[in-house]
Structure 1
Amino acid sequence: MADDKRSLLSLIAGKRHHNYGYPPESFDRNKLPDIDHQFLPAEHLAAFAQALSAPDPTPASEDALMPSVRSPTDQTFVGLDYTRSGSTASVNTAGLPESAINSNGAQSSMFITAQNDWAPVNEKVKHRRRGRRKKISIGRRTVDETREGYLYGLLKWPFLFSVVLWIIGLGAAYIATRSYIFLYEHYIAWTGKRERLRRSMRATNNYRDWVRAAKELDAYLGNEQWKEENEYAYYDSKTVRRVYEQIRKHRKAAEQEGGSKQAVENLKTLTEACVKNNFVGVENPRLYSQTYYGTKNLVQHFVDEVEKSTQFLISSRQLPLDEKRALFKRMHANYGRTALCLSGGASFAYYHFGVVKSLLEADLLPEVITGTSGGALVAALVATRTNEELKQLLVPALAYNIKACSEPITTWFPRWWKTGARFDSVDWARQASWWSRGSMTFREAYERTGRILNVSCVPADPHSPTILCNYLTSPDCVIWSAVLASAAVPGIMNPVVLMMKTLDGSLVPYSFGHKWKDGSLRTDIPIKALNLHFNVNFTIVSQVNPHISLFFFSSRGTVGSPVTHRRGRGWRGGFLGSAAEQFIKLDLNKWLKVLKHLELLPRPLGQDWSQLWLQQFSGTITIWPQAQLSDIWKILSDPDPHRLARMLHEGQQSAFPKLKFIANRLKIERLIEQGRRETRLGVRRGSIESIISEEDLESLLRTNNTDEETTEAEVDEAVIEDNFHDMIKTPKQSRSQ
C-alpha cells in the first residue's frame, strides 16, 4: 500500500520534474516484472542466520598469542546473540531446521570447532573476559605484524601526523587546481556555438540522437579532417593500409565463383595475422580520443574488412572443419575477451544502471561481467536476467525496489551502537535475493543467461587472499551471499558468511564458515583474475567511487571526449593547469605509498585501508558518470524514481562516447565466438559440453569414478583435447528467451 502511494505521488510529481525522456509508465511500479515476488525461501534465510551466529573459525588477534579451545557444547554456542558475535540480529534456534542443530542445541559438524588437531574438542576451557577481548582485537596489529625498534616507536606517530597534514594540504591544492581548470574551460574553451552544440548533445535521450549531435559538433570543430588523414603517431598506419588492401583483394578473389584454394588460404593467413589484441595499435584509445564519434577512416575500413573476411571464413566450405576449428581457437586465444567491470561506491553504484542500459540497447553488453560492493548488486541483476527482462527493469520505477537504506535513524543507530554495523545482514539478504532471483548460484545464472558473473570478496582476515566468485571458482555459491559479502564495508555491515547450495537445494556455509567483506578494499577492479580465468584483455570499467572520481582527469582527452582547443593537441586547462594537476596527484600518490610501505597506518575498525587509493581503478575504457555534489550527502540513501531517472540518464550519457570503440571490438570478438560454436564436433545444443568449461568437465570426469550419480556423463577424450576452451559458451538464443 505504501509503495502504491509512493508510485502515485511520483506520477503526480513527474509533471514538475524532468523525466529525461521516459514515458509516464516507466514510473509505474506495477509495470515491473516480478516486483512483488518473494524468491527467497524461509529456510534459506534461516540457514544464513544460523551461519552468521556460528563460531568464527578465524582466530582473533589475541588468539595468536594465547590459543584457546572452544567446545561445541559450550553454552556460548547455544542461542547466540548477533550483537555479541558482531552481527546484527539474534537467532532463535527453534525456527531453524532440525538437521542444523544437535540434541544439545549446538552447531552441527559442518563447522570447524577445534583450533588445533591435537586439542580436545569437548574440553572445558575458561575464557577471558569479552571486554578485554574486544579491546585487544579491534584496530590492533598482532605481535608478528608489529615492527620493533626504538626509533620506529619514537617517530611513528609524529611522522604519521606530519604526512597526513601534508596530504590534506595537497588535497586542498588539488581541489583549487581542478577549480581553476573548470573555470578555464567554462569561460575560455567552451564558449559560443561549440558550447550550444555540446549542450544539445548532452540533452539527448538515446544513442541515435547523440550520434547525430556528436557528428555535428565534430564537423564544427574540424575533427572530420583528422579522420581523413591516415598518418598518426599512435598506430602503424602504413601496415594497416597495406594489410587492408591485401585482405580486401584476397577476400574478393575467394568470394568469386570457383575461387581458388590458394586465395582462401591467403585470406585465412592474413586474417589470422590481423586478429590479435591491439594489432599494430588499432585499438589504442588515442585513436578514439580525437573526435566525439568514430576514429580514423582507415582504421574503420580495416575493422570492417576484417569483419567481412572472418564472416567468409566461417561460411566457407573450402576449408576443412578441423582446420577451421583450430583457426578459431587460435584467434580466440590471441584476441581475448571483453569484460564489463562495475565498481563499488554505495548509492553511486546506481549510475551503473544507465551504463548497462546504453550497452544493452546497442546490443553491446559483454558476456563477462564483474561487480564489487554496490556494483555487485547491479551485476547480479544483469547476470540473472535475460535481455528482454532487463529492458523492462531498467526504468525509473526500479527505485521502488531499492529499500536497503529505508530504516529510520531510531532503528539503525542503536544497532550501530551495539554491533558496530548500521545495517542488518539478514534483512539485506532478504532484499538482495530479489536482485539475484532468489538463491540462484553462479552456475545456475550462467546456464540461464549465458553471462559470466564475477563478484570480488575479501576475507575478514587481513592477510588471506581475495576470491573472485564465478561459475568456475565457486559454482555452487549463492549469488546474494556473495553480493552481501562484497558490500560488507566495516562500520556499515559486519562480515558475512558465503552460502553454498547443496544437491537437495538447502544452503550450508561455504569455505568452512569463514567470513568475508567488501571487495573494494583490495580489488575493486579484478583485471588480473579476469585474465587468468577467462582470457580477458579488454576491460570496460564503469567507475563511480566518489573518492576516486574526484581524481580522474585526463589532460589529453579520453575516448569520445577530445580536447577542444588547438585541434585536440592542446592541454585541458592549458599547460600550466595540466602540469599542476599531474604534479599534485603524483605527489599524493607518493605519500600514500610511503604510509603503506612504512606501515604507519593504524587499522580503524580492524581493517587495513592502505589500498583504498592505491589499486588499479581504470581499464582499457573507463566510464565516469557525472555525479552531483548532492549525491555525497545521499551516499547511504535510496533513490526515488526521479533521482534514478537522472542517474540512468547520466550513466547513458557517459557511455555513449565509448560505444563506437566497444562496437568495433565486439564485432570481431563475437564472430570468433560464432566460429568456435559452429566448428565444434559432437556437441549438442543444451548438452553439458555446451554449458560448462573444459576445466569443470575434466573435474567432473575425475569424480565419475567415485560418484554414481555422474556415471552417465561420458565424453570422448579426443573431443575434449581438440576443443580446448570451446565449451564455456551457452547458445546466444537463451539470452533472449
Structure 2
Amino acid sequence: LRWVQRAFNSYLGLVLAWVYLWAEVFHYWVLALHTWLARPSLQRELTERLHTATSYEQWYTSATQLDRLLGWEDWRHNPVSDLYDYRLIESRLERLCDIGITNDLTAMVFLLRSGLVRNLGGINEHQLFSRASHAGTKLLIEEYTYRVVNILEFIRQSDTLSIPRPLKASLFYDTRQCYGRTALVLNGGSTFGLCHLGVAKALWQHRLLPRIVYGKAVGALIGALLCCYDDQQLITLFQTLEIDLSAFLRVKRQGHLLRKLTRYFKFGYLMNVQVLEECIRDNIGDMTFEEAHRKTGRVLNIALSPQQNHESQLLLNYLTAPNVVIWTAACASTSQLGLFERVDLLIKDVQGQLRTWSPSLACEYSSSHWPSEVNQPNTRLAELFNVNHCIISDASLKNLPLFTWYTKFAPHWVRQLVRSTLGELLHQMRQLHQLCLLPTILAGFISRRVASNVTVSPSFTLVDLYNMYSRPTPASLHYWVLKGEQATWPRIPLIYNRCIIEFTLDNALDDFGKHSAFTRSKNHSSVDEVSKTEPPKRKRTQSFH
C-alpha cells in the first residue's frame, strides 16, 4: 500500500507540474495576444501624449512607457550594435572602473587624455539616439559617459600632492581645448523665432545651455536676452516668461495688414523698426557686447552681411566689436531679412554716450548680400572660440507641414518622389544663390545641415503660418516657447551625451579660477584702457651664431 501511495503521489505531482506548465504557457500567450491587440491603440495614445506633453516629466514618462511597449528597452540593454565600436567602449569602461578602484590619479589623467574625444568610437551618432529608443540610447554608452564625468569630478575634488592645484587647472584647460566647445546657433526669423526661447529654456533646465550663443535675425534678439541676463534673471525669465512687450501692444491692431503691405511696397520693408528697437531696449537697455560678457560670462555673437559682395560676413562679439550696443546689432541683423528698415550700429564711448559706428556696415536688405554657405558661423566661431560642435535651433519655414507630412504618413513611393523633387529644387536654388538671383527669404532653405551638429526643429502648422508676422503677445509667447520645448525634449539624451563632459570641464575651470582663452576676467580693464597701456618689453631671442 505504501508503494501504491508513493506512486500515486508521484504521478499526481507529475500531472500537477504539467498542468502548471501549460497554465503558464497559456497565460503567457493570452497576455501576448492581449498586448498585440491593444498595442496599436496604446501606442497611438502614448505617441499622442508625447506630442502634447506640457512638461519634460510628462514627456519622459510617456517615452519610457512607449519604449517598454515596443520592446526597445531590450535594445538599450544589449550593447552590441554596428552603429558604434562597442568593443572599444567596453574595454575603456573596464579600464576606467579598474582605475577608479585603485584611485590612481596619474593613471586616470593618462587614460582620459588619451581618449577624451566627443565622438569616441561613434558613441554620439544620431542613429543611436533616434533609431529605436525615445528615452535614451545604449546603456553601455550612458554608463561610459557617466563614468568619465565621475572621474573628472574626482580629479577636481581630490586634494593630494600628486597633482598640485595649478597643474590641475592647466590639465583641465588643455583638455577642454582638445575637446572643443559647443555653441547654440539660433536660426529663423519672423514670429517663429520665439521658439528659440523654448529651446534655451529646455537646455537651461537640464544645465545644458552653452555659454557661446550665435544668432541672426530674430535669433539675434533671443540671443541678446540670453547673454544680457545673468543666471538669476534667466531663472526668473524661464519661470514667468515675463518679457516687456508693451512696445508692440501700443501699436493699433486695426489695419495692421494694410499698413505692412503699404510700407513694404513703398519703402521695401514690412514692419516699423522703431517698435522693435523700443522693445529690445526696454528689456536689455544700452548694454554693449563687452558689458554683457562681463556680467554673465556668456559670449553673444551676431552676424551681419556686408554691402559688398567681395566682403565676408561680419561677426560681432565682445572680441570684434566690444563697444557696440547690442540692441542696435540685433535690430540690424533683423533688418537684413526685409522685415524692418535699415539700422545703423551704435557704440558707447568712454563718457557713456551713444554715437554711430561704421554706418556702412549696417547692411541694407538685398538678396545678393545674404552670406553664402562658405561664410556660415562655424568657421569663424572655430577660429575665435574653438567651437567644433553646435546645437542649432532651426525655426524656419522648412518645418511647415508642406515639407514634413510625407515623411510620416505618405507611402514609400510618394516619399521617394517628393524627396527627389525637393532635391532637384534645392539644387536649382543653390545655383540661383551662387548667381545672386535667389531672394533672401528663400536663402534659409538651401543651408546644409552638418552631421556633427544637433538640430532642433520645431514643427509648425498652417495656422502658425498665418500668424507668422503677427505681433507677439504674452499668450502667444507661451505658445511658441512650449513649441520650442517640445522640439528639444527628444534631443536631450543626445545633447547630454555630447556636452556633459565639456560642461564638466567648464565647471572645473570656474572652480580653479582659470578661464579659457576667450574668457576675460570680470576685473579686466576696458578695451580702450588696454589699448593705451604700453606693450610688455620682450628680450631679443639669441641667435645660433
TM-score by length of 1: 0.60
SS in 2 for 1:456: strand
| Mapped pair 1:444 → 2:275 | no
Q: How many angstroms apart in 1 are the aligned matches of 2:117 and 2:472?
A: 43
Q: Given the alignment, which residue of 473, 489, 493 partners 1:640?
A: 473
Q: How many angstroms apart in 2 are the aligned matches of 1:610 and 1:389?
A: 36
Q: How many angstroms apart in 1 are the aligned matches of 2:364 and 2:430?
A: 23
Match of 1:210 in 2: 59
Amino acid corresponding to residue 325 of structure 1 in structure 2: A
Q: How does 1:155-554 map to 2 (within 5 A)?
A: 191-254=40-103, 263-289=104-130, 290-316=132-158, 317=160, 318-394=162-238, 395=240, 398=243, 400-401=245-246, 403=248, 406-407=251-252, 408-409=255-256, 411-412=259-260, 415-435=263-283, 437-489=284-336, 491-511=338-358, 513-517=360-364, 521-522=370-371, 526-547=377-398
Q: Relative to structure 1, is the Cα distance of residues 209 and 472 closer, same or farther in structure 2, using a 3 angstrom cutoff?
A: same
Match of 2:30 in 1: none
Q: Structure 1 unaligned runs (5+)?
A: 1-189, 255-262, 557-562, 564-571, 707-713, 718-737
SS in 1 for 2:305: strand
1:508-558: CA deviation from partner (whole Å, max 9, x where unpaired): 2223553225799437962222222211222111111114656866999xx
| Mapped pair 1:627 → 2:460 | yes
CA shift at 1:400, angstroms? 4.2
SS in 1 for 2:185: strand
1:190-247: CA deviation from partner (whole Å, max 9, x where unpaired): 9421110111233322212221111001111111011111121221110000000001
Q: Relative to structure 1, is the Cα distance of residues 611 and 250 closer, same or farther in structure 2, using a 3 angstrom cutoff?
A: same
Q: How many angstroms apart in 1 are the aligned matches of 2:513 and 2:78?
A: 43
Q: Given the alignment, which residue of 412, 416, 430 partners 1:593?
A: 430
Q: Relative to structure 1, is the Cα distance of residues 505 and 343 closer, same or farther in structure 2, using a 3 angstrom cutoff?
A: same
Q: How many angstroms apart in 2 are the aligned matches of 1:647 and 1:299?
A: 33
Q: How many angstroms apart in 1 are the aligned matches of 2:339 and 2:531?
A: 43
Q: Relative to structure 1, is the Cα distance of residues 214 and 493 closer, same or farther in structure 2, using a 3 angstrom cutoff?
A: same
CA shift at 1:636, angstroms? 1.4
CA shift at 1:296, angstroms? 0.3
CA shift at 1:417, angstroms? 4.7
Match of 2:521 in 1: 690
Match of 2:21 in 1: none
SS in 1 for 2:445: coil
Aligned pair count?
486
CA shift at 1:483, angstroms? 0.7
Q: How many angstroms apart in 1 are the aligned matches of 2:56 and 2:231?
A: 18
Q: Relative to structure 1, is the Cα distance of residues 530 and 405 closer, same or farther in structure 2, using a 3 angstrom cutoff?
A: farther
SS in 2 for 1:508: strand
Match of 2:8 in 1: none
**Contact 1:423–1:492 (CA under 8 A) maintained in structure 2:** yes
Amino acid corresponding to residue 140 of structure 2 in structure 1: L
**Contact 1:454–1:469 (CA under 8 A) maintained in structure 2:** yes
Q: Relative to structure 1, is the Cα distance of residues 632 and 680 closer, same or farther in structure 2, using a 3 angstrom cutoff?
A: closer
Q: How many angstroms apart in 1 are the aligned matches of 2:175 and 2:438?
A: 47
SS in 1 for 2:248: coil
Q: How many angstroms apart in 2 are the aligned matches of 1:497 and 1:592?
A: 31
1:650-698: CA deviation from partner (whole Å, max 9, x where unpaired): 21111111112222333211221233344457x9xxxx9524999x98x
**Contact 2:247–2:275 (CA under 8 A) maintained in structure 1:** no
Match of 2:500 in 1: 667
Q: Relative to structure 1, is the Cα distance of residues 552 and 362 closer, same or farther in structure 2, using a 3 angstrom cutoff?
A: farther
Amino acid corresponding to residue 362 of structure 1 in structure 2: H
Q: How many angstroms apart in 2 are the aligned matches of 1:575 and 1:429?
A: 48
Q: Relative to structure 1, is the Cα distance of residues 250 and 590 closer, same or farther in structure 2, using a 3 angstrom cutoff?
A: same
CA shift at 1:424, angstroms? 3.3
Q: How many angstroms apart in 1 are the aligned matches of 2:403 and 2:523?
A: 39
Query: Alignment identity in percent?
Result: 25
**Contact 1:549–1:624 (CA under 8 A) maintained in structure 2:** no
Q: Relative to structure 1, is the Cα distance of residues 586 and 252 closer, same or farther in structure 2, using a 3 angstrom cutoff?
A: same
Q: How many angstroms apart in 2 are the aligned matches of 1:278 and 1:551?
A: 34
**Contact 2:269–2:341 (CA under 8 A) maintained in structure 1:** yes
Amino acid corresponding to residue 294 of structure 1 in structure 2: G
* Greater mean alpha carbon deviation, residues 460-469 or residues 613-622: 613-622
**Contact 1:396–1:642 (CA under 8 A) maintained in structure 2:** no
Amino acid corresponding to residue 616 of structure 1 in structure 2: R
CA shift at 1:268, angstroms? 1.0
Q: How many angstroms apart in 2 are the aligned matches of 1:490 and 1:293?
A: 38
Question: Structure 1 or 2: larger helix share?
Answer: 2
Q: RMSD of the TM alignment (CA)?
A: 3.4
Amino acid corresponding to residue 704 of structure 1 in structure 2: T
Q: Relative to structure 1, is the Cα distance of residues 314 and 441 closer, same or farther in structure 2, using a 3 angstrom cutoff?
A: same
**Contact 1:416–1:422 (CA under 8 A) maintained in structure 2:** yes
Q: How many angstroms apart in 1 are the aligned matches of 2:119 and 2:413?
A: 33
Q: How many angstroms apart in 1 are the aligned matches of 2:88 and 2:276?
A: 56
**Contact 1:457–1:517 (CA under 8 A) maintained in structure 2:** no
TM-score by length of 2: 0.80
Q: How many angstroms apart in 1 are the aligned matches of 2:81 and 2:352?
A: 59
Amino acid corresponding to residue 83 of structure 2 in structure 1: Y
Match of 2:447 in 1: 615
Q: Relative to structure 1, is the Cα distance of residues 516 and 634 closer, same or farther in structure 2, using a 3 angstrom cutoff?
A: same
**Contact 1:341–1:371 (CA under 8 A) maintained in structure 2:** yes
1:348-375: CA deviation from partner (whole Å, max 9, x where unpaired): 1112222122222222221111111011
Q: How many angstroms apart in 1 are the aligned matches of 2:494 and 2:444?
A: 30
* Greater mean alpha carbon deviation, residues 517-526 or residues 540-549: 517-526
Amino acid corresponding to residue 251 of structure 1 in structure 2: G
